[in-house]
Amino acid sequence: QVQLVESGGGLVQAGGSLRLSCAASGRTVSNFAMGWFRPAPGKEREFVAAINWDGRLTYYADSVKGRFTISRDNAKNIIYLQMNSLKPEDTAIYYCSAKSGIASYRDSTRYDYWGQGTQVTVSS
């Protein structure tokens, strides 16, 4: 089993930055692909970003490309989401997730483990 705990959310003004963290426990996630998702109208969870097991491959939703950066520290079992130039439409609960392999990284139903989420609120 893998337990994921997100942190780093909060209230920030538009144009500001936040760094989310996802700490894994129970077993190492160094062999897992990791993703960040958020709720969206008509979708239970919308893909935000994903990273493969060694960090060499990263993927982003078009809406966050160029503003968000996903990274990982396998020695610490932590995944990060650096969010810059935040917009009010980025307001959401952000969920960290883990899956075996990077294939189908946009599909939330393919992820095996989920955290409880951390709230990000961007004021205009």
- pLDDT single digits (tens) 40-63: 888 889 999 999 999 999 999 999
d(CA 3, CA 109): 17
pLDDT value of position 41: 81
Q: Does the CA dihedral 97-109-67-73 come out positive or negative?
A: positive
Lowest-confidence segment of 11-20, 33-42, 84-93 by average pLDDT: 33-42
Q: How far is CA 42 from CA 20, 39, 53, 106, in A?
A: 25, 9, 30, 15
17 CB-contact burial (10 Å; exposed 0-12 / middle 13-18 / buried 19+): exposed
Instruction: Give the tens place of pLDDT for each residue, 56-96.
Output: 999 999 999 999 999 999 999 999 999 999 999 999 999 99
Q: Which residues does 23 contact at the CB level (< 8 Å), separation at least 6?
A: 4, 5, 7, 77, 78
